[in-house]
Amino acid sequence: MAETMESNLPMILMLLGGVLILAMLFLLLRMRREKKQPKREEESSPPVSRVTKSAQRPAETKAPQKVTAKPKLESTERKRAEVSKTLPVLNQPVKKMPGIQRRHFEEFKGKRILIAEDNAINRKLILTLLDGLGLELETAENGRETLDRLRNGEKGRIDLILMDINMPEMDGLEAAREIREHPIYDRMPIVALSASTSDEEVRQILQSGMNAYLEKPIDLGKLYRVFKLFFDWQDALPDYKKRRKPVGGLHSHIDRKILDWEKGLRYSNGDEELYAGILKEFFDQYRHSDRQLKEWITEKNYDEIKALAVDLEGISATIGAGPFYDTVTRLHRVAEQKAYTMFPDFIDEYSKELRDLNREIEKYIEE
């Protein structure tokens, strides 16, 4: 008997172990069932505020990011795509066209250009480069003035804008973005001017809706290539109206020894209206400059005297004012040589030549 029990002991132990395992599994399943029952009751009741807040917070923080970022990006890309459909866009630096001189710009006579530049020297440089070539030039000193000029529209349609990207009140990038918001300007090229054209700056220029960029100082060959591209493109459009042709005329009562209007008309490419406008601007701005010159000589303000001579040297040559040109050229030379003691000798001569020139200009513009 004992031997039989001893031989069956392993079997008995295995059976007891199996019973214990089954009992433990039964207890475990029952405990899990009891835990689940309260949870189902909780789910059937209204959500607890703690659960609601933890579930809602991530959705509230993520949602605005998706809503605001995507439309802004889409708007920028869509606007750039619209501009590229109606205007050429140069993503690379403008290549210089060799052999270009000022006279070559007469090809673009009648085109109206707005120069948006806050720096007076840079503004004068561009005006001097393009003055007397038949182009109609206007200026603005910041982006706000540029927008005001476009909205006013009394002086006629603008064919192209040369715009510095760094200006007070409103910079060129912001002004370009504002302009591109209005479809009526979709066919007006905007060319950026900048002394620095890093990759990031170029990206901002093109994203603002500008069509090309030129590095300062302005190179005639690059500027001509830009004009050629955009103006040829404009003239090829069937609905782009041509400007009135220049007219000719004789002015026998004008003293050509003082005001050589024929020479002035040649610089204006035969456009009498343009030439008369230049004369009027000269008359309005400089007719009393002899008083200013005398005051500056008295105050020994030599830098202002030199700046005045530089301005008038180019302008007087353009309008054909020979004797006055000779006077301001010598005044400029004296200023360059810093022979300041000679300045008082110019007061009477300058006043006489200016008075004579004003008289002939009045005759011309009053016709």
Note the pTM of the prediction, 2 decimals. Answer: 0.46
pLDDT the model gives residue 53: 32
The topology under which CATH files domain 102-235 is Rossmann fold (3.40.50)
pLDDT the model gives residue 144: 94
Q: What is the pLDDT along the chain (367 residues), one digit of tens a residue?
A: 555 555 666 666 666 666 566 666 566 556 655 544 444 433 333 333 333 333 333 333 333 333 333 444 445 455 555 555 567 888 888 989 889 999 999 999 999 999 999 988 889 889 988 999 999 999 999 999 999 888 876 566 789 999 999 999 999 999 999 998 877 777 789 999 988 778 898 999 999 999 999 988 888 999 999 999 998 887 766 544 443 333 334 577 889 899 998 888 776 656 677 788 888 888 988 999 999 999 999 999 999 999 899 888 888 888 899 999 999 999 999 999 999 999 999 999 999 999 999 999 998 887 6
pLDDT the model gives residue 191: 96
Q: SS3 for the chain, per residue?
A: CHHHHHHHHHHHHHHHHHHHHHHHHHHHHHHHHHHHHHHHHHHHCCCCHHHHHHHHHHHHHHHHHHHHHHHHHHHHHHHHHHHHHHCCCCCCCCCCCCCCCHHHHHHHCCCEEEEECCCHHHHHHHHHHHCCCCCEEEEECCHHHHHHHHHHCCCCCCCEEEEECCCCCCCHHHHHHHHHCCHHHCCCCEEEEECCCCHHHHHHHHHCCCCEEEECCCCHHHHHHHHHHHHHHHHCCCCCCCCCCCCCCCCCCCCCCCCCHHHHHHHCCCCHHHHHHHHHHHHHHHCCHHHHHHHHHHHCCHHHHHHHHHHHHHHHHHHCCHHHHHHHHHHHHHHHHCCHHHHHHHHHHHHHHHHHHHHHHHHHHCC
pLDDT the model gives residue 59: 38
- Asked if 133 contacts 109 with a C-beta cutoff of 8 angstroms, the reply is yes
Q: Give the start-to-end residue ranges of the domains of the chain.
A: 102-235, 261-365
pLDDT the model gives residue 151: 80
pLDDT the model gives residue 182: 77
What is the distance between the alpha carbons of residues 302 and 297, in angstroms, rounded to a whole number?
A: 7
pLDDT the model gives residue 15: 60
What is the distance between the alpha carbons of residues 200 and 174, in angstroms, rounded to a whole number?
A: 16
Report the sign of the C-alpha dihedral through residues 306, 310, 313, 315, in that order.
negative
